[in-house]
Every structure is written in C-alpha cells, then in structure tokens.
Chain A
Amino acid sequence: MTTYLVTGASLLGSGSGDLLLADGHLGDPADAPPDAVRIDASGLVALPGLVDLHTHLREPGREDAETVESGSRAAARGGFTAVHAMANTEPVADTAGVVEQVWHLGQTAGYCDVRPVGAVTAGLTGQRLAELGAMADSAARVRVFSDDGVCVSDAVLMRRALEYVKAFDGVVAQHAQEPRLTEDAQMNEGTMSGVLGMQGWPAVAEEAIIARDCLLAGHVGSRLHICHVSTAGSVELIRWAKSKGWNVTAEVTPHHLLLTDELVASYDPIYKVNPPLRTADDVEALRAGLADGTIDCVATDHAPHPTEDKECEWAAAAMGMLGLETALSVVQAAMVDTGRLTWAEVADRMSVRPARIGRVSDQGQALETGSPANVVLVDPAATRAVEPADSASLSRNTPFRGMELPGAVVATFLHGRATVLDGKLQ
C-alpha cells in the first residue's frame, strides 16, 4: 500500500501541519519512510473523511439512475469516505440479504464505506416491522433504520420501532411528513404555491410528526434521528427536544441551506424535491440551527433520477436532487464563507457527528496518530461552475448547475488509499 506524506496542510482549517497515511492509519509524520509519496498541501484544508447519513444509491432496482459503484465514485469526489445507502430500493432493503448485497457491492467498488440503512417496516408499507435485528446482526451491521421516502406515520409502529432498536443501539431516522396533510403536494405551501397554483406542502406536516416523534423518543428513551429538516419550526422543535435531554439528532441537506421555493417559479422540476424547498426565513433558521448545533449534521439526500423523470411537466416529475459532489462546496458557501462555521465545525457536522449517529466506529475520527486514515483535502480558494455532465453520478439532476460554488476537493483518502488525487478519481 502506498504511504502518503501530506505536508503543510491546514489541519481542520487552522495552523499548518503534516499527515502521514500509512497502512490505513495516520502515523507520526516524523516516521515517514523515504519512499512515501509527498503531497504538497499548502493552502489546502485537511478534514476527516466526510460521512453522509442519507444517500440514495438506487441499487438494486434502478441501476439506470445510479449504482453503488457510480454513487460511491460521486461520494469520493465529494470528499466522502462513508455513505449510508437508503433502503428504498427495489427490492426494499428490509432483509439481511438485501443489506448484505448492498454492503458487498460497496466493498467491491471500494470508493467509500457503504453502510446500508435498513427499512423500518417491511416493504416500506408502514404495516409491520421489518426484521431489524437480522439486519443489525448481518455482515452489514445495520444501525440506522429508515423508511425514507415515506413517513412512519403510524404512532404505535413508530413507538415500537424506537423501542426495538435499543437492543442493538440502533437509531430510527424519520422522514417526517404527515401523509394526509401532503396528499398530492407539489411544493412548499406559502406565497409561491398560491401564485403558482400548486398544491401546497405545509410546514406543519413536517413539524407535527417531529413533535410527536420527539415526544415518543423521550417517552421510551430511544434514539431518534430526523431526516432532512426543512422548516424553521422544525428547528425550534428539535431545539426544545434537546433541551429536555432527549436523544434526538437531526440533519439538514445542502440544498435546503442554499435554495428557496422562489426557484419553483421556473416550473423546472430540477427544483422538485421532498421535502420541498422552503422560504428564505427557513433557510436562515436552518443555517442558525446548524451553526448552534441544534441540527447535528449535513446529509446530502443525494437522489439520482434519470433524465426523462425530470424532463417533463412539474407534476409528472420525480422528487430529488443530486448532492454528493456539491455538498462541501454548498456548505462552504452557506456556512463557512458567511462566517457561521469554522472548518473544524464543518468537520464536526459533516464527519464526526454523522459517524457517531450512524455508529460508524472507524470514521469521523480526529486527525491524529492512530486514527483510521480517512482524510479529505479541500482547496477553499478554488471556485467552479457546476457542470452536470462532469458528474460521476449516472444522473444529471443537480439544482446547482451553472452556479459558481467555492471550494474543491483535491484529494480523498479511504483507509489510507487515495480515491481522489488532484481532483480526479483514482
């Protein structure tokens, strides 16, 4: 295995230091062997490899949109060394067999650690629990369970899931969307939906479920994670639940940190996503929540769709956006360049905390001797215009196309091996 000596990097954005990547771990740079490959990292920020709690890799079932390999290549280009593959595949990842298949595909691809998420209910139908324990005990060692795409709306089922996963230190990641309040919903309910004549998706549909589930988690003493928080009210509720000492965590997507429902006026389904883009006030509350730690982490909700599912009228289009390759740049634009997060805090929100929530023990560790050599080098001074055709994903549905975004991933190391060097996949 190649040994790398990274020199002159700004470790977590402060000072200047060297990193030795040898045998999959970080070593003492003073011990660098003479044949170590030297990487001049002056001007670059070194962060622990990013961990995504929310990725749709589409395999098995929709290999036309993404595969485990193509999605993990996109992840590596975005600086990720671990992703959590959501369960809404075909077949659904609701058995040990499917999660092991996805886990093996990730191992074979080798671009990042692919951690399968298990479905909470069999077939995502919200009727009865999937075999959560079998998935937890499988080779994939599933710890995050989610019906993402649909809400576990039945309060009793949600309560039981929260209780049951305590046996193996699991967490239920809720897609908070009250189904009756969002039937046929197309976009955020507000000024824009009224003008555009679109069925509204009220904030309360998200917030009502979050309030209920926080109360449930508090009641049964379980770990609850809230997926893709999108409204100011949700941030308030999570802040309140944390103040009670309940074990509630939350994520926000890059697109909800940057984009608003004003974009829907174009009627271009590239902006159609679940949960929908909200207002500027919501964006501000999400940024504040991420800055003060109410929202624990950034998760991409990377959702590839083939061209024909977006090249149509709004109502017929699929919901979702690409996110892996632009996440760090969007966070830099929304949070770092605005002075709301330091790079050390970016490492916390995009690596340390998501690894802890997902119970990924060999990710999200400090950049110090003995840690697994999962490292990303970022050039914060770079800028680039997002070009969909450049993506490593099989899909092209990025809402950031054409936007000038700051920052570029120069290198990504997964357990000491370079998956990206000089900005190129290895």
Chain B
Amino acid sequence: MDEHLKTELRKQGIVATTLQELYNWGRKNSLWPLNFGLACCAIEMIAASMARYDMARFGAEVFRPSPRQADLMIVAGTVTKKMAPQVVRLYNQMAEPKYVISMGACAISGGPFKQGYNVLKGIDRYIPVDVYIPGCPPRPEALIDALMTLQKLIDKQSLTGADRPRHLQAEAPSEFIVPRFGAHDLEPPQNPEVWDAPLVNISLAGTDDAGKH
C-alpha cells in the first residue's frame, strides 16, 4: 500500500494496515526474554528490567523461566565452554520465532577472558545472533538500544517471499548442533553453518618494532 495514502488516511482517523504489519507489530512489542544470566552482564540486564530503566515499556519485561515460552535469548555474560552446550540446547528448545542478543564483550568474543582456555570465544560460533551489544558490561541503556534495534529488525521482516525470515521457511533449521564438552575443547569447536570465520591476515612484517626499545 502506498505510504503517502496511508498517512493521509491516518490524518482522517482511518488506520490502514496489512496482515504482515499487524503480525510484526504484535511480535516486536511482546518480546519475552528467557530468564537467563551468565555473568556480570546479567546484573545490568536485571537493572534494565527493573523500575529505573523499565524494559516493560517495550513489552519485554516478562522474563520467562522456560525456553518454551520465550522469544528472546539475551546471552548476558561470559559463556564458558562448560556452559556452552546448555546455552545452545536452551536456544534449541525455544519456539520459533526466536532471537538472540549477544550482550557484552564476553558473549561477543570472549572479552577479557578471550585468552582463557575455558571460555568460548563468542556465542555466535554456535547460534545465530541478531544484535550485538559491545561493552564490559553494557549499560542498561545499551540493552534497551539493542532491544529497539531488534524491534526495527522484526518490523522489516516479510511474511512471504524468498527473503522471509528463518522461522517462516520450512526447510531452514530450527535447531543447531549442541557441542559436546570434550577432553580438550568443545566438539565441534564451532558450527560452520552459523559461524563464518573472519579472514584476518595480520602481518607484522616491517611494522613490528618489538625489541627495538
């Protein structure tokens, strides 16, 4: 429908909408997060849901204790390798449509513990992440910003057509490989279907001034 005509009608007190807009409007304003915190970022997440920052304004205050009832997984904190299988399994148990916010440096890349032997270097190695929030930890405002970004993403999703989101495509997977806690590392160390390893070519030739001083 023509946007101009829609605004004209709106001025006359007539609301014209489509099924898709109605569907997305309903979904984006009732994002129920999974009650699930891993580390210090969870404290900021709790603060965001409390009265001062009040995530209820965005319809996202109903933290569900069961993945069956949740739409949004906020990976708030350091994902240890011991915990990663549980995180992925919880994501698998959530009903579609489901979204993931990767909150904080640890959930994105391992953060300050990236060099640690026991820390997963980013939850996006196993599950598809929709919004990343940098910070250590990000403030509640950052989480609210991420939520609004996710709402904008949901608003743009189309109901039909080839570019429709994953949950509307019958052949697209809803479950991802749950890694096993192996003897040395998680097996597999990443899910290649989800994670594209960034091609980084760090060359220190010529610019490496180590040892000169």
Co-assembled chains A and B: no
Residues on A close to B: CB < 8 A?
none
